């Protein structure tokens, strides 16, 4: 009996250690709430574009989602040129400061969007016709903003949408005065102002082979001149049928091969028909004639089950692709928090009811959210 006792004690100790380990594991699992940022913590940052109602904390339900689900934020509008630099000698930083403080308070990866973009530029810029003066203004603009947030804003969309769909340079206000030299100036000045920040070129439709090639040429040109560029932002304004995963993957691989990171910076998936799919009209066209046309706004009273399912599958497929290329991808940001305030309710046709994001109008996660989380839970 006495000889059996030590063996029995050893067995008890072993068993209770195992039980304790299991309990600790379970506790850790229980203590880590399910969220996008936790699910993809080992893969890439996951974030959302936020707007004034989150920054000034009036949309508390939206803000709760942002802090619970995401570890990176992007300002949807408040840091664009027309708001930050409305007159030649005037900068307005109040809202941008509040945005950055929100990110710091929540220990987030903070994105600055966007330093140089022909759209939403201030009116006074249209009067600048001299290239030397324009270069001085761009340098001053970039230096003032980037140095203010040095060490706080982690990543800058330095130049936005400089290319046409065929990969050539867009003949914007900036290009017309300076040619493509404005890109080099903007990136160089940003790197000087904050050498640690990640500097990104951001554009849409980068899955298109011609536009992809345009970006590759642009990055190679900057790199050949020794200009710092750290990433390519593939915006990711997609629809359910397109673009193909193959086209997106080809771009991820082409950009990664340049030695820069890839970010999906403005992800959303429209659930509504787009006018150009119906009549082949140009994306830039004015579509106000479609306003109120119910065929263009078919889910005004609620989401259709089959579209909802298709949206979930599309998001699942995209995130499976992102996981496959997680070594190349550093961030995935949704362009908005819930379907209630997405820009796609008003573009390309005003006043529609769209469903492009992971949270519905009642701030609840949609099936697509659960599909994405399940990708990690089942692995
Ligand atoms: O400034 C007025 C404001 O005073 C007024 O209260 C408000 C009410 O309608 O309108 C405000 O301006 C709107 C602004 O968003 C802020 O809400 C503009 O009319 C509207 O055109 C603007 O749209 C933004 C668009 O960029 C402008 O080009 C969208 O919200 C924003 O989602 C969109 O974001 C862009 C990215 O920055 C770059 N990539 C494409 C993406 C989608 O277009």
**pLDDT tens-digit readout, 213-243:** 999 999 999 999 999 999 999 999 999 999 9
For residue 235 and ligand 1, the question of a CB distance below 6 A is answered with yes
Rounded to an integer, the average pLDDT of 305-327 is 97
Q: Is 266's C-beta closer than 6 angstroms to any atom of ligand 1?
A: yes
pLDDT at 31: 67
Atom of ligand 1 nearest to the CA of 119: 28
* Catalytic sites, residue numbers: 266
120 close to ligand 1 (CB < 6 Angstrom): yes
If one residue of 49, 84, 343 were mutated to test the ligand 1 pocket, choosing by the most ligand atoms within 8 A of its CB, it would be 343
- Give the whole-angstrom CA distance, residue 64 versus residue 358: 15
Instruction: State the Cα–Cα distance between residues 300 and 295, nearest whole angstrom.
Output: 10
Please give, one letter per residue, the 3-state secondary structure of the chain.
CCCHHHHHHHHHHHHHHHHHHHHHHHHHHHHCCCCHHHHCCCCCEEEEEECHHHHCCCCHHHHHHHHHHCCEEEECCCCCHHHHCCECCECCCHHHHHHHHHHHHCCCEEEEEEEEECCCCCHHHHHCCCHHHHHHHHHHHHHHHHHHCCCCCCEEEEEECCECCCCCECCCHHHHHHCCHHHHHHHHHHHHHCCCCEEEEEECCCCCHHHHHHHHHHHHHHHHCCCCCCEEEECCEEECCCCCHHHHHHHHHHHHCCCCEEEEEEEEEECCCCHHHHHCCCCCCCCHHHCCCHHHCCCCCCCCHHHHHHHHHHHHHHHHHHHHCCCCEEEEEECCCCCCCCHHHCCCCCCCCCCCCCECCCCCECHHHHHHHHHHHCC
Domains (range + CATH), the chain: 47-272+286-377 (3.20.20.80)
Percent of the chain residues topping a pLDDT of 90: 85
pLDDT at 28 over 80: no
Q: What is the pLDDT of residue 129?
A: 95
Confidence of residue 13 (pLDDT cuts 50, 70, 90): very low
Q: Mean of the pLDDT values across residues 151-171?
A: 97
pLDDT, tens digit, for every residue of 94-127?
999 999 999 999 999 999 999 999 998 999 999 9
How far apart are the CA of 50 and the centre of ligand 1, in A?
12
Whether 76 lines ligand 1, by a CB cut-off of 6 Å, is yes
Report whether pLDDT(371) > 60: yes
Has residue 4 got a pLDDT over 70? no
Check if 343 has its Cβ closer than 6 Å to any atom of ligand 1: yes
pLDDT in tens, 235-283: 999 999 999 999 999 999 999 999 999 999 999 999 999 887 765 555 5
pLDDT of residue 8: 46
pTM: 0.92
The closest residue, in CA terms, to atom 42 on ligand 1 is 343
Using the atom order of ligand 1, give the atom closest to the CA of residue 335: 32
Residue range 32-52: mean pLDDT, rounded: 96
- Give the tens place of pLDDT for each residue, 328-343: 999 999 999 999 999 9
Measured in Å, residue 364 CA sits from the centre of ligand 1 at: 24
Question: Does the structure show a pLDDT above 50 at 74?
Answer: yes
């Amino acid at each position: 009996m006495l000889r059996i006792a030590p063996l029995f004690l050893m067995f008890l100790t072993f068993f209770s250690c195992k039980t304790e380990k299991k309990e600790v594991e379970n506790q850790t699992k229980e203590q880590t709430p399910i969220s996008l940022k936790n699910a993809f913590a080992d893969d890439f940052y996951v974030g959302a574009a936020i707007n004034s109602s989150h920054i000034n904390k009036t949309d508390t339900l939206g803000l709760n989602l942002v802090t619970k689900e995401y570890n990176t934020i992007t300002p949807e509008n408040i840091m664009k040129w027309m708001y930050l630099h409305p007159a030649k000698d005037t900068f307005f930083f109040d809202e941008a400061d509040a945005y950055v403080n929100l990110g710091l308070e929540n220990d987030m990866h903070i994105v600055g969007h966007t330093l140089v973009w022909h759209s939403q530029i201030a009116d006074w810029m249209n009067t600048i016709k001299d290239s030397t003066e324009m270069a001085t203004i761009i340098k001053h603009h970039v230096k003032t903003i980037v140095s203010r947030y040095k060490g706080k804003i982690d990543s800058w969309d330095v130049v936005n949408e400089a290319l046409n769909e065929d990969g050539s340079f867009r003949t914007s206000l900036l290009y017309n005065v300076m040619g493509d030299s404005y890109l080099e100036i903007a990136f160089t000045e940003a790197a000087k102002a904050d050498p640690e920040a990640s500097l990104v070129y951001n554009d849409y439709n980068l899955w298109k082979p011609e536009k992809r090639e345009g970006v590759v040429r642009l990055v190679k040109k900057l790199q050949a001149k020794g200009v710092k560029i750290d990433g390519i932002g593939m915006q990711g304004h997609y629809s359910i049928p397109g673009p193909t995963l193959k086209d997106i993957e080809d771009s991820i691989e082409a950009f990664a091969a340049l030695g820069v990171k890839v970010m999906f910076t403005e992800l959303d998936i429209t659930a509504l028909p787009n006018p150009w799919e119906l009549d082949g009209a140009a994306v830039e066209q004015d579509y106000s004639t479609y306003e109120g046309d119910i065929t263009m706004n078919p889910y005004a009273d609620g989401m259709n089950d089959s579209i909802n399912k298709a949206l979930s599958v599309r998001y699942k497929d995209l995130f499976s692709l992102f996981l496959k290329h997680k070594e190349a991808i550093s961030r995935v940001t949704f362009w908005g928090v819930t379907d209630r305030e997405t820009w796609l309710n008003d573009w390309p046709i005003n006043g529609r009811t769209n469903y492009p994001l992971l949270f519905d109008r009642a701030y609840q996660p949609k099936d697509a959210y659960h599909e994405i989380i399940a990708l990690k839970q089942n692995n």
